[in-house]
Structure 1
């Protein structure tokens, strides 16, 4: 069994290019191509589709990649356990993040990790809730921040309840209200935040029987705020993203407080390095009350 070949296939699948994989691993392109060909000979079937549009995995390659990633993760865990027995904290952890976590939490958490555990390397992969859950299932990451679900496939550490607020411009009829009802949302055009996975806002609408007049659907929060600033509609965003909104906007709470619940989802058997990250994240949030 050659773990080097496994690492090469994993990187090729990640970047979808022999050339980029070679650059990332400090190898020649021919070495990468040779390693994949050798693996295909060992297994007895093709692992990748080679064509002008790029590199994709075959169905067999996708199946083997899941098993290969488990082997690589266990190998990493073995080395981390050995280091732990020597009193060291070292290794690599891959973390799935979404925007508000990456801007509000990660810089300080990473600073603490680098201070306390300088031998632990952190790799970040940004996506939405659904992508992060899929990366966890496929073994692309070790842990990830998500909006808490009730999936039995992950161990979930609850971190924060983040209020959802109604964002309006100074030309909105809701601007001077102290609170907003869900029925108020049907009175003006609505700009829907859109992302994959558990959708807290759509869930709110379903729970309260609301059918807003959705004018636009946007993923980027800054674009949503720009639309509201230009009086093109109202929206709902998490409080974590609203500490520095334009002066002409207001973020108004709902009559019935509504939240998204942020958690850190992990596999059930964490590596020592991933445990250190989870512990650091929990401790920082408790101390800082973010």
Structure 2
């Protein structure tokens, strides 16, 4: 058994298609099929159930897949550590980003990072703050840019506060409140709202503000993408509370939207988060680009994981 066979198994498990798996691994399909079949003979078990139309993991294959992924991750990390010891940063950098990230221009950051470390391959993943923090704890992400309600803080990861922000009311240009100098939550509680999906940190910021004010509201539309929220607002389907640093530049170029300050609106904190334990060379290099003092040895930064 070798690492290449494990890579083929992982690729086939994820694509469920021999052709796509071979393309991902940059080999001919017959070679990939032959190597996987050889591995199955060596192990004495079938890793995949095959038909003319379907490829699925067997129970033995599912058990093998978890260990194979761990082995590949360890091998990749060993190669990256060896290169880093020689002064070269290689490997993969997995970065999580919330859809309303505003404290850091992520494309500009990655442009500077690539100029310094062109051998690193970057994976970007969008999601909610809780989901991305959990992915860091599970080793699926190296770093992430998060946004949480004021008073909340990511757990089990190292963090750096990037910015404090407050929400503004986003209304259609023809709305009765467009152009108002300031409003309160009570003044808008009877309006129809557009917001993020229930249970996400992005939604919690507004929910907590209305709860603290003793108010209820009607959220008629939920969306996971900020762009869709603003398009619904522009059509007159509702109003929303969104972080000012994020929505300000977008609304400046959109005459269909108007922004109104909110006296008692939600406030959020944007964080940079990274692994407590043993950041990879690629992750440490990104932290350095961001001006964060990154650890140079294995271990955590501030005591045992919580």
1:124 aligned onto 2:124: yes
1:265 to 265, 269, 273: 273
In the alignment, the residues of structure 1 paired with residue 49 and residue 291 of structure 2 have an alpha-carbon distance, to the nearest angstrom, of: 43
Relative to the length of structure 2, the TM-score reads 0.76
Asked whether the equivalents of residues 83 and 90 of structure 2 are also in contact (C-alpha less than 8 Å), the reply is yes
Structure 1 regions of 5+ residues with no counterpart?
Answer: 284-290
Residue matched to 1:256: 264
Residue matched to 1:107: 107
Give secondary structure in 1 for the equivalent of 2:124: strand
In the alignment, the residues of structure 1 paired with residue 209 and residue 39 of structure 2 have an alpha-carbon distance, to the nearest angstrom, of: 49
1:236 aligned onto 2:244: no
The alignment covers a number of residue pairs equal to 283
Asked whether the equivalents of residues 46 and 58 of structure 2 are also in contact (C-alpha less than 8 Å), the reply is yes
In the alignment, the residues of structure 1 paired with residue 230 and residue 13 of structure 2 have an alpha-carbon distance, to the nearest angstrom, of: 36
Closer, same or farther: CA 254–85 of 1 in aligned 2, 3 Å:
same
Cα RMSD for the two superposed structures: 3.3
Give secondary structure in 1 for the equivalent of 2:215: coil
Higher helix share: 1
Give secondary structure in 1 for the equivalent of 2:249: coil
In the alignment, the residues of structure 2 paired with residue 39 and residue 110 of structure 1 have an alpha-carbon distance, to the nearest angstrom, of: 39
Residue matched to 1:24: 24
Asked whether the equivalents of residues 129 and 195 of structure 1 are also in contact (C-alpha less than 8 Å), the reply is no
Cα deviation, residue 51, structure 1? 6.1
1:166 aligned onto 2:166: no
1:214 aligned onto 2:223: no
Relative to the length of structure 1, the TM-score reads 0.79
1:76 aligned onto 2:85: no
Structure 2 regions of 5+ residues with no counterpart?
Answer: 293-306
Cα deviation, residue 243, structure 1? 0.9
Residue matched to 1:93: 93
In the alignment, the residues of structure 2 paired with residue 132 and residue 54 of structure 1 have an alpha-carbon distance, to the nearest angstrom, of: 32
Computing the radius of gyration over CA atoms, which structure comes out larger, 1 or 2?
2
Asked whether the equivalents of residues 191 and 218 of structure 2 are also in contact (C-alpha less than 8 Å), the reply is yes
Cα deviation, residue 214, structure 1? 1.8
